[in-house]
Amino acid sequence: MYIFYRFMTTDPFLTRALGFLLADVSRLMRRRFDARAREIGLTRAQWRVLTQLRRREGINQTALAEIMEIEPISLGRHIDRLVEKDFVERRADPRDRRAWRLYLKPEVQPVLDRLRAISNVNRKEVLQGIPADESEALIDTLLKIKGNLTALEVQEPIGPKTEELD
């Protein structure tokens, strides 16, 4: 860790740039979560799959791979491991015999509960010293930013406007 901090800059563009800051916070939070998730025998990829399936149970593998921004073959391997653990099941898609729909099995519920507890502990740790109203305002602001970005993806192609680059 010393090496990382030794090379930190005080340049506001790098220290206060929203994209860099969000990426750094996200990476640090994932690292803490990963260490705790390993204690219950899951990899980051597996807990990501479980989290996405919790939100979108019944989705097909191709759509889930797109959402997760990974190759379908990689997702297939993660699903295979989760099937072996008896956490996920594949069911034939009634409209497409080549496709599989993914469902969580009841056996995974204690693991999902543990993941939620880990998430709650992490949230408490990272928001330590920040009043509850400020924490909620931060979450609300991030949700607005997410909504803005989602709307922009639908409205216009990604890429800077040339007049904004000068």
Residue-by-residue DSSP string for the chain? -HHHHHT----HHHHS-HHHHHHHHHHHHHHHHHHHHHTTT--HHHHHHHHHHHHSTT-BHHHHHHHHTS-HHHHHHHHHHHHHTTSEEEEEETTEEEEEEEEE-GGGHHHHHHHHHHHHHHHHHHTTTS-HHHHHHHHHHHHHHHHHHHHHHHHS-SS--HHHH-
For the chain, which domains are there?
44-120 (1.10.10.10)
Q: Name the pTM for this structure.
A: 0.70
E-only strand ranges, 26-95: 88-93
CA distances from 61 to 28, 57, 79, 83 (A): 29, 11, 9, 13
Residue 162 is encoded by which pair of tokens? 């040339």
Q: What is the spatial distance between Cα 58 and Cα 147, in angstroms, rounded to a whole number?
A: 24
Q: pLDDT tens for residues 104-163?
A: 999 999 999 998 898 899 999 999 999 999 999 999 999 999 999 989 988 876 666 655
Query: Hey, what amino acid is at 70?
Result: I
CA distances from 54 to 40, 105, 117, 124 (A): 18, 11, 15, 22
* pLDDT of 2 above 70: no
Q: pLDDT tens for residues 65-75?
A: 999 999 999 99
What's the rounded mean pLDDT across residues 5-14?
67
Specify the residue for token string 């149970």: 57
